[in-house]
């Protein structure tokens, strides 16, 4: 079991370019697993974790409802945003500047073969990170992601999640609002969940801006602890 995880910070990168890069890493792991099974070998499969910040983009999961995007293509262009139908679970979500987006591309055979546990660990990573900022974040029953003030009229989502898994290999991941422009969430019904608000870390802390690199470091630390992983930083050339 290879618990080494190669960490790359891609900086600001187009969504489609990043998706293609994810797919390439995902395929590399799948192909190696198939080769090991076919040839009865035990070559170690790699694991990756990508941090990235996207330009404005809306993505719709494979089971999502396009009706949850509330504007047409012309409005998206005016807002400088793009739209993609993609192959993760979940409904519609938004990515943009001021978000820390994370894509773990892991062979769960190296950790544990339980997709629900995987999602709960990603949520816990975010919950523990927000706790360091004095926020009591939590899960909302039946709604993947991380929330504040669950069970009250003021419930609001701060982190969205949607993943894909095949042969226990994961891709896609989470989007944590750190300094996000919340106006872009008004153009959709986030994750198809009506009547619940969205928030951002800087808003909750009453700050103009929160240090994004600091947030990434905290997320990395808690990921490493939860998954008992060894993180290896790699300069990005993707």
Cα–Cα distance list, 238 to 19, 75, 215 (Å): 11, 31, 22
In a domain, 238, yes or no: no
The answer to whether 18 and 103 are in contact (CB under 8 A) is yes
Number of domains into which the chain is organized: 1
The pLDDT, as a whole number, for residue 214 is 98
pTM, full prediction: 0.93
Pairing of strands 48-53, 99-105: antiparallel
In a domain, 32, yes or no: yes
The answer to whether 198 and 126 are in contact (CB under 8 A) is no
pLDDT beyond 90 at 193 = no
Higher pLDDT, 46 or 191: 46
pLDDT beyond 60 at 192 = no
In a domain, 98, yes or no: yes
The answer to whether 173 and 101 are in contact (CB under 8 A) is yes
The answer to whether 171 and 26 are in contact (CB under 8 A) is yes
As a whole-number percent, the residues of the chain with pLDDT over 70 amount to 96
Residue 162 assigned as binding residue: yes
pLDDT beyond 70 at 194 = no
Dihedral pair phi/psi, residue 53, rounded to 5°: -130, 120
The answer to whether 3 and 228 are in contact (CB under 8 A) is yes
Q: What integer is the mean pLDDT of 172-184?
A: 95
In a domain, 126, yes or no: yes
Give the domain range for residue 32: 4-233
pLDDT beyond 80 at 40 = yes
Residue 173 assigned as binding residue: yes
Residue 95 assigned as binding residue: yes
Which CATH number do you get for residue 28? 3.30.930.10
Pairing of strands 4-12, 48-53: parallel
Q: What tokens does 211 get?
A: 């240090």
Q: Nearest-CA neighbor of 180 among 148, 228, 212, 156?
A: 212
The answer to whether 32 and 45 are in contact (CB under 8 A) is yes
Tally Cβ neighbours within 10 Å of residue 234: 12
3-state SS, residue 28: helix
User: Residue 108 and residue 2: Cα distance in Å, rounded?
Assistant: 10
User: Residue 138 and residue 149: Cα distance in Å, rounded?
Assistant: 8
Catalytic residue ranges: 191
- pLDDT digit string (tens) for 114-170? 999 999 999 999 999 999 999 999 999 988 899 999 999 999 999 999 899 999 999
Dihedral angle at the C-alpha atoms of 209, 215, 217, 220, nearest 10 degrees?
A: -160
Cα 25 to the center of its chain, rounded Å: 16
Residue 125 assigned as binding residue: no
The answer to whether 128 and 227 are in contact (CB under 8 A) is no
Higher pLDDT, 174 or 90: 174
In a domain, 182, yes or no: yes
pLDDT beyond 70 at 88 = yes
The pLDDT, as a whole number, for residue 238 is 53
In a domain, 189, yes or no: yes
């Amino acid at each position: 079991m290879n618990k080494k995880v190669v960490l790359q910070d891609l900086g600001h990168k187009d969504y489609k370019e990043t998706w293609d890069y994810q797919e390439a890493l995902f395929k590399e792991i799948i192909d190696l697993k198939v080769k090991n099974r076919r040839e009865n070998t035990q070559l170690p499969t790699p694991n990756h974790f990508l941090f990235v910040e996207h330009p404005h983009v809306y993505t719709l999961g494979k089971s999502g409802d396009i009706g949850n995007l509330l504007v047409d293509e012309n409005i998206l262009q005016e807002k400088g945003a793009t739209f993609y139908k993609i192959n993760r679970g979940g409904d519609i979500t938004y990515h943009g500047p001021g978000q820390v987006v994370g894509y773990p591309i892991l062979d769960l055979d190296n950790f544990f073969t339980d997709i629900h546990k995987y999602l709960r660990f990603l949520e816990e990573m975010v919950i523990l990170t927000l706790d360091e900022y004095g926020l009591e974040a939590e899960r909302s029953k039946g709604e993947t992601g991380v929330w504040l003030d669950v069970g009250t009229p003021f419930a609001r989502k701060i982190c969205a999640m949607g993943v894909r898994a095949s042969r226990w290999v994961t891709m896609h991941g989470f989007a944590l609002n750190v300094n996000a422009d919340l106006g872009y969430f008004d153009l959709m019904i986030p994750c198809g969940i009506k009547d619940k608000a969205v928030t951002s870390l800087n808003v909750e802390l009453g700050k103009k801006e929160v240090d994004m690199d600091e947030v990434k470091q905290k997320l990395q630390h808690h990921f490493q602890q939860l998954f008992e992983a060894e993180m290896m930083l790699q300069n990005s050339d993707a």
